[in-house]
């Protein structure tokens, strides 16, 4: 029984020494020698009992380098679109962005041909026109400068029998062209209310 006790005490003592690193035995510090290089002796000379232990270099981790030559761009769409279609989509995006800059009224949410001029009132100084939305069956007043239509049209003039609306034409030339659209007063036919 005493022999077992002696063996367990000896093993415990060895473990404590190993964990604390308190021994100078060369076999017990083998892990430390592999990771730390030995310092060079001072003066460049070695003593009579000095032994040289080659320091093992840590293994180099493999490095990865990406070479883009001959590989497709990962951020470019894999399907090419038609240049004419691409240009048309860009124009639509610009038009939507221009519409978002200013508040949109119900007059700007429908095409100009959808509205019907039903009346004009006022004197020469200040005239007002009334238009009817053919789909929603609602009436809206128009003044000079009121925006109307989806193409950014603006009322330029209100005459006794018509309203003149100026719209920006599609840019075919270098400078923007203005297209004038005339909306005639709708006169009731006789016999119809």
Does 13 fall in a domain?
Answer: no
Whose CA is closest to 118, among 146, 99, 94, 137?
137
148-176 pLDDT, tens digit per residue, is: 988 888 999 999 889 999 988 765 555 66
Does 159 fall in a domain?
Answer: yes
* 33 pLDDT more than 60: no
Does 75 fall in a domain?
Answer: no
- Strand 178-184 to 162-168 pairing: antiparallel
| Full domain range(s) for residue 139 | 103-184
48-81 pLDDT, tens digit per residue, is: 555 555 666 677 788 888 888 888 888 877 776 6
Report percent pLDDT > 70 for the chain: 68
175 CB neighbour count, 10 Å cutoff: 5
Does 81 fall in a domain?
Answer: no
What CATH number is associated with residue 117?
A: 2.30.30.830
* 31 pLDDT more than 70: no
pLDDT at 140: 93
pLDDT at 46: 54
Contacts of 158 (CB under 8 A, 6+ apart): 120, 122, 127, 128, 129, 142, 143, 144, 164
Name the least confident of 12-21, 86-95, 141-150, 153-162. 12-21
CB neighbour burial string for 100-128, b if at least 16 within 10 angstroms, e if fewer: eeeeeeebbebebeebebeebeeeeeebe
Does 173 fall in a domain?
Answer: yes
Name the least confident of 2-6, 35-39, 84-88, 178-182. 35-39
* 181 pLDDT more than 60: yes
Does 23 fall in a domain?
Answer: no
Could you tell me which residue, 101 or 151, shows the higher pLDDT?
151
Does 44 fall in a domain?
Answer: no
User: What are the Cα distances from residue 175, in Å, to 71, 139, 172?
Assistant: 42, 35, 8
pLDDT at 17: 78
pLDDT at 28: 47
Does 109 fall in a domain?
Answer: yes
Q: Decide if 116 contacts 134 (C-beta within 8 A).
A: yes
pLDDT at 131: 93
Q: How many structural domains comprise the chain?
A: 1
The encoded tokens of residue 83 equal: 């240049």
């Amino acid at each position: 029984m005493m022999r077992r006790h002696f063996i367990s005490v000896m093993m415990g003592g060895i473990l404590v020494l190993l964990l604390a690193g308190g021994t100078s035995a060369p076999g017990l510090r083998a892990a430390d020698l592999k990771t730390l290089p030995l310092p060079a002796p001072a003066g460049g000379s070695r003593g009579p009992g000095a032994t040289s232990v080659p320091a093992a270099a840590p293994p180099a981790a493999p490095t990865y380098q990406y070479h883009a030559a001959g590989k497709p761009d990962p951020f470019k769409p894999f399907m090419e679109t038609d240049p004419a279609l691409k240009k048309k989509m860009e124009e639509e995006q610009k038009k939507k962005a221009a519409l978002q800059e200013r508040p949109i009224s119900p007059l700007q949410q429908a095409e100009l041909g959808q509205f019907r001029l039903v009346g004009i009132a006022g004197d020469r100084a200040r005239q007002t026109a009334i238009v009817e939305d053919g789909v929603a069956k609602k009436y809206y007043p128009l003044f000079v400068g009121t925006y109307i239509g989806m193409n950014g049209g603006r009322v330029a003039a209100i005459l006794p029998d018509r309203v003149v609306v100026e719209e920006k034409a599609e840019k075919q030339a270098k400078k923007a062209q203005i297209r004038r659209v005339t909306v005639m007063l709708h006169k009731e036919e006789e016999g119809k209310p």
